[in-house]
Amino acid sequence: MKVFFRFFRDYPRESILAPLFKLLEACFDLLVPLVVARIIDIGILGGDGTGDSGYVWKMTAVLVLLAFVGLACAVTAQYFSAKAAVGTATRLRHDLFAHMQSFTYAQTDKVGTSSMITRMTSDINQVQSGINMTLRLTLRSPIIVFGAMVMAFTIDTRLACIFAAAIPVLAAVVFGIMLGGIPLYRRVQAKLDQVTAATRENLNGVRVIRAFNKEAEQVQHFDTVNGEQTGLQNKAGRLSALMNPLTYVLVNMAVVLLIRQGGFAVDTGRITQGEVVALVNYMAQILVELVKLANTVFLVTKAVACSNRVGAVLDMPAGMSVIPDGEGRPVSADADTAVPRVAFDRVSLTYGEGGGPALSDVTFAAYPGETVGIIGGTGSGKTTLVNLIPRLYEATEGTVSVMGRDVRCQDPAALRAHIGIVPQKAELFKGTVRSNLLWGDGTADDETLWQALEDAQAADFIRGKEGQLDAPVEQRGRNFSGGQRQRLTIARALVGRPDILILDDSASALDFATDARLRKTLRALPYHPTTFIISQRTSSIRACDKIVVLDDGHVVGMGTHESLLAGCETYREIHESQYKGGDEA
């Protein structure tokens, strides 16, 4: 709820003026039945029974004036309420996006990508509608309802008791349905997350789905998820559909009773015919406003459920805390070469939702200028291992040190400024080649960009592109081949001249010759980074100074290519599976 009502703080003027003008509009509406009653009693039935046409025209002009003034108040209120609603949604969406950008990998995994997309779009749109309707109708409708009852008491106390009896019953119906609808709409939004997840998964994997001819199965799976969401939506819709019939029945029963009792009162001379018409008009106003209030209640109910979902994400503490180590010195790559640039000391990691540890008791060190190869079977923990260096994940046991300091004692942004990462999945962003490369260093000049492209073996095909550095890059880099995307992501990491370079199976789409040239270039880089190369091919890491062999999260071997062939069975099996008889073909 605090998310839903934050507009009171961000838009105090609009939050006051919008309801105020709606209050004025409601007051003018409450005067209309009294004017109509006077037209009937004085203008039509007054005097000798022939009426007073001049009075009728005069009071008609009053009605027109009330209509125009009410319209002006309504438009003004709508302007302020829309300004507050759209502005709040804009700020909320910005804050939510900024907050999610500071999430760690573990927090992103916990919330889920599809859920975050739903909260950024559908949920915040519902909050926007809820704020708009709250400012426009939640004050107007009660004022009309209770104002009509008060005006009825000024006309006739006995007949006004019908109003006093009908309003609590109507309120019980409205709020009873509202209380039943809140948990339903919360479940509807949760199911919408699953529909979004299924849609996103199918769009991302459309090529795989078609390659394996699984379109029918995926359509069936989507129908199941969508059907569950539709069922919940229908259930909530059936509950909300009760609102209008029940309120109409109750109000019309009150109108019938009002006309019957009003007829008796007119016969006895207690009230006039115009006053009976005014009472019926007040009851009709109550009916209209209760229908509006009912719809508003459901919009607000959905908005509250959605705001709670958004608030749950905003309340999650983002990022990782920095533990003071008492040294207070910044990260520096100019440390003594005897100090490891990266060191693992009995490191273990268990994912939040995982059963067993992904890494167990890992200990090794990498020195400045060294190249470290990491190899192992699928799921052995290779990517997990290198993700601990920039502190994308937090080690559950042990210590990861970078440049002689525990990563938990370093500011994550300052730490990652010294690390160049090429993820396993090559990701490019819509823009140009230049805009993508500048992610590595926003101040880099063209010479630096071309040098990075040369080192990544990407300069040749970029020179062949129209515009070269300004050649367009489509979303996810789909106008480049897999190997080209990988080389561009490597170039992006090299632009910043990192002290630590992590290549997470980033040459898998390259041919052997290009891969060999790339490795040769990386070893000759003038700034001598400590390089980590994850690869499934022993040919890509055989020249590394140190090779770490992982199996089910454990280090089962460490050394050079030759020593591991002689003493590590796991490494030897991987090598022999790639080369006949253990010798390169």
Q: What is the 3-class SS of 327-369, one letter each residue?
A: CCCCCCCCCCCCCCCEEEEEEEECCCCCCCCCEEEEEEEECCC
* Residue-level pLDDT at 585: 39
Tokens of 103: 């999430």
7-314 is classed CATH 1.10.1660.10 = no
Contact by Cβ (8 Å): 441, 496: yes
**Digit-coded pLDDT (tens) for 393-420:** 888 888 899 988 888 888 888 888 889 8
**Digit-coded pLDDT (tens) for 163-207:** 788 878 877 887 787 777 777 877 887 787 788 888 878 887 888
Which positions of the chain have pLDDT values less than 70?
A: 1-8, 45-51, 319, 325-338, 353-355, 580-585
| Residue 39, number of CB atoms within 10 A of its CB | 24
* Residue-level pLDDT at 72: 92
Tokens of 322: 């920095």
Say how far residue 164 (Cα) sits from the centre of its chain: 46
Q: Which strands make up the sheet holding 500-504, listed edge to edge?
A: 419-422, 500-504, 530-534, 371-376, 546-551, 554-559
Q: What is the 3-class SS of 97-154, one letter each residue?
A: HHHHHCCCHHHHHHHCHHHHHHHHHHHHHHHHHHHHHHHHHCCHHHHHHHHHHHHHHH
* Residue-level pLDDT at 330: 47
Closest CA to 62 of 85, 83, 44, 37: 37
* Residue-level pLDDT at 408: 87
Q: Domain extents for the chain?
A: 7-314, 425-497
* Residue-level pLDDT at 76: 92
**CATH code given to domain 425-497:** 3.40.50.300
Q: What's the Cα-to-Cα distance from 3 to each of 55, 57, 307, 311, rounded to whole Å?
A: 53, 51, 6, 6
* Residue-level pLDDT at 111: 78
Q: What are phi and psi of 449, to 5 degrees?
A: -65, -45
